Amino acid sequence: MGIGAGYSVAQGETGGVSVVGLADLGWFFTDRFAVLLGATLTTRFGDPDIHHTLFRVGIEYRLDARHYLRLSAGPSIVTRGKDETSSSEGFETIGTGEGAQIVAGVPAAFWRWGELSFQIVAGGGLHRGDDDEASYAGFVATCLEFAVR
């Protein structure tokens, strides 16, 4: 599980400071390689709020005990908070499509049962909305991740 802050953009919307949350479940099948299943939620608070959710399948590669890379891809959804003048509350889907993410991490502290890592995360997606016109959303962030082994 990780949380951090960064900058996100979505086509047709102003970019801004965002909160990023990551959750991964993985299984190491060698000393260096793991298979991952996870999700990333990027939220940019503003008028309106923009949410980018990326469901991912990927791999982790341990370069050595102190460095790792994760590559993952999967379905991507971008939603926007409905404005205050709307009669209904909640979110409207701007677009759905495919996305990808890369994570570079450095463990900052180790325990026998886990680690705390500093990460740089970048990701994004290409989406199709109701008008069938392609749009994009992307983010770059720094995160702290707590992992249990």
User: What is the overall mean pLDDT for the chain?
Assistant: 88
The pLDDT-based confidence of 138 (bands split at 50, 70, 90) is very high
Indicate the pTM of the whole model: 0.88
CB count in 10 Å sphere of residue 109: 10
Q: Retrieve residue 25's tokens.
A: 């479940």
Segment 12-64, tens digit of pLDDT:
777 889 999 999 999 999 999 999 999 999 999 887 788 999 999 999 999 98
Please state, in angstroms and rounded to a whole number, the distance separating the CA atoms of residues 72 and 56. 6
What domains sit in the chain, N to C, each tagged with a CATH number?
2-148 (2.40.160.20)
Please state, in angstroms and rounded to a whole number, the distance separating the CA atoms of residues 25 and 112. 18
With CA atoms as reference, report the closest residue to 60 among 18, 12, 91, 27.
27
